[in-house]
Amino acid sequence: NDFEKQKNQNKLLPEHLDKIVAAFEQRENIEKYAHVATLQEVKDNDYNLNIPRYVDTFEAEAEIDLDAIAQQLQALEHDSQKTDAVISEFCKELGIVSPFAEVK
C-alpha cells in the first residue's frame, strides 16, 4: 500500500523505501506489511518469494445493511411515483398525453 500510483508503473518514494529498509533491518513481523520467514518456510513454499505467501494483506469489506438499502429503494420508488403524478397533472393541464398515463 505504500507507493505513489502512476499511469503505467507505480513509484516508490523515498519515504516508502525507508519504511521497507527499516522493516528489513529490524527483522520483525509487521502485520499486513512484513514477515520474517525461516529458510524452512521458504523451502516449504518451493522457494516462491511472492509476498502473498508470507504476508496476509486481506482487508475485510464493510458490511452492507440490506434492510436499510431496501428501505431507501422503497422511499425512492414512492418519491418517483409522486413525481410521476405531478408530471401527469402538468401534462393534463397542457392538454398533452402524459408519458406516465396508463395505456388502455
- The pLDDT tens digits of the residues spanning 25-67 come to 999 999 989 999 999 999 999 999 998 999 988 777 888 999 9
Burial 49-69 (b: 16+ CB within 10 A, else e): eeeeebeeeeeeeeeeeeeee
Could you give the 3-state DSSP secondary structure of residue 52?
helix
- What percentage of the chain exceeds 70 in pLDDT? 95
pLDDT of residue 13: 92
Confidence of residue 103 (pLDDT cuts 50, 70, 90): low
Phi, psi torsion values for 47, nearest 5 degrees: 60, 20
Task: Provide the CB-side half-sphere exposure for 20 (13 A, CA).
Answer: 9
* C-alpha cell read off for 68: 436499510
Q: Identify the residue with better confidence: 87 or 1.
A: 87
User: What pTM was computed for the model?
Assistant: 0.49
pLDDT of residue 59: 79
Q: What is the largest CA-CA distance in the chain?
A: 84
For residue 34, what are the β-bridge partners? 30
Q: Identify the residue with better confidence: 8 or 103.
A: 8
pLDDT of residue 62: 87
- Which amino acid, 48? N
The average confidence (pLDDT) of the chain is 89
